[in-house]
Structure 1
């Protein structure tokens, strides 16, 4: 890939590889931090050999692993991530407690259609937030097996930032259809992939996207991967929690 600086495309989501490839154990990093940061200042993903969760906002990129948030180095690489230049058009304030189901229903009311892509940033205080981080995989195992080793971290009465995306149902397998969120605390020291939460109060920022740019690797693992999966939805539900 040409490492020449890319012009900022605020309407674009840039994605490395596909969720179906990740499910099939295509874990080798294909693009470095230096390459992906040319396509966005905000995003989520994972790392070479599933070594933690990726989170980025305000141009700061972190590896969330084992309860810690570690700034990236230029050699860190990813097999799967989604990034964008965050440019929100909508802001909404929440001033009362709201659980995951109610909040995600509210988000659908705040956007014009479920058929578009959106990036979300939620800044606030959380009564509870449940996260996990995937662990380094030395050898091939299906992702449904790899997540059995994930580390769970519970936060209570914590300030922080949720970063993530809405992917339309028709793109299931390319990414994770629906909401996919990662969290980092206000001190930018801990976080992980989000699977449950209760918001106390928060500011919600929404960025509607018009383009999806998909980078498909040419590695042997990707070329030989089984991307048409019979149990796709079941596997995604198991891995995403």
Structure 2
């Protein structure tokens, strides 16, 4: 009788321990406001504030209303990467038409002590997270031999589509600099809802420059990344979104053009 009671108590303790671990490590979730296809078609004004984004995650990327530069977030800090290549801390009241946020909870770490191209960095992730059906959040803290970025200039109504806007996008180069790279690897079946493949933003260590990443060479640094299997999307309800063509014939080609 005593053994039976003891066994029950041990089992109950185990269940409580597991529940406690689950509560301490909540499920990783990606929160997204609006759709990439909406941004592509010129829906450049949203109602979600930066302060609200930080309630959904401490890490992410996106853009600002009027397509006014790129958004990068990490360690619960949000920065605006501007069209002149500079960076500044975002105001909590600034709004976004498209952003992707999560509470960064990496499961893997890889240290680079030699130069690595963007493709070589991605290969490390792909070898560990083999299924393309899962999201992946990634971050690199390190020194970069070279970084090539672009940043979208502020737009004014009547808005042109994103491919038209990016036809003359400003491109910047940062050489021999330290900085932070954050991004997501998104499944191919999400193209149009998000950006399929790798989508990454960069900011220098002094927080004075950065942008949407086109290419880079990592000299040395630490890559951390983790899998995410849950997505929550907050869809706009304004007329711009409701009237937008969210499924154009050239959707995949258009997204690849504006993101590369």
* Class of the TM-score when normalised by the shorter of the 2 chains: over 0.9
2-side partners of 1:10 and 1:180: how far apart? 22
The alignment partner of 1:189 has SS state of coil
Among 174, 182, 198, which residue is 1:179 paired with? 198
For 2:17, the equivalent position in structure 1 comes to none
Q: Among 2, 6, 11, which residue is 2:28 paired with?
A: 11
Report if aligned partners of 2:137, 2:228 keep a CA contact under 8 Å in 1. Answer: yes
Equivalent in the alignment of 2:18: none
SS across alignment from 1:63: strand
**1:49 maps to 2:94:** no
**Alignment match of 2:39 (pick from 14, 22, 25):** 22
Counterpart of 1:114?
132
Q: In 1, distance between residues paired with 2:62 and 2:145?
A: 25
> Partner residue of 1:104?
122
* Equivalent position to 1:34, from 35, 48, 51: 51
The equivalent of 1:90 in structure 2 is 108
CA offsets per residue over residues 186-217 of structure 1, 9 Å max, x none?
11111000011111111000121121000100
Counterpart check, 1:162 vs 2:181: yes
Shift of 1:119: 0.6
1:152 and 2:171 equivalent? yes
Q: Residues of 1 paired with 2:45 and 2:26: CA distance? A: 27
Greater percentage in helix = 2
How far residue 150 of structure 1 moved from its aligned partner, in angstroms, is 2.1
**What is the number of residues matched between the two proteins?**
234
CA distance in 2, matches of 1:20, 1:9: 30
User: 1:5 maps to which residue?
Assistant: none
SS in 2 for 1:153: strand
TM-score, structure 1 as length reference: 0.94
TM-score normalised by L of structure 2: 0.87
Give unpaired runs (5+ residues) of structure 2.
1-24
Deviation digits for residues 26-77 of structure 1, max 9, x if unmatched?
A: 0012211121111001000001010000000000100000222111112200
Partner of 2:89: 71
Structure 1 consecutive aligned stretches of length 4 or more whose deviation exceeds 6 Å: none
Partner secondary structure for residue 202 of structure 1: strand
* Structure 2 residue aligned with 1:221: 240
Cα RMSD, aligned residues only: 1.2
Task: Name the CA distance, whole Å, in 1 between partners of 2:26 and 2:94.
Answer: 24
- In the alignment, structure 1 segments of 5+ residues that lack a partner are 1-7
Query: Match for 2:99 among 63, 81, 92?
Result: 81
- Residue 249 (structure 2) aligns with: 230
Which structure has the bigger radius of gyration? 2
Tell me the distance in 1 between the aligned counterparts of 2:200 and 2:99: 12
* Aligned partners of 1:135 and 1:149 also within 8 Å: no
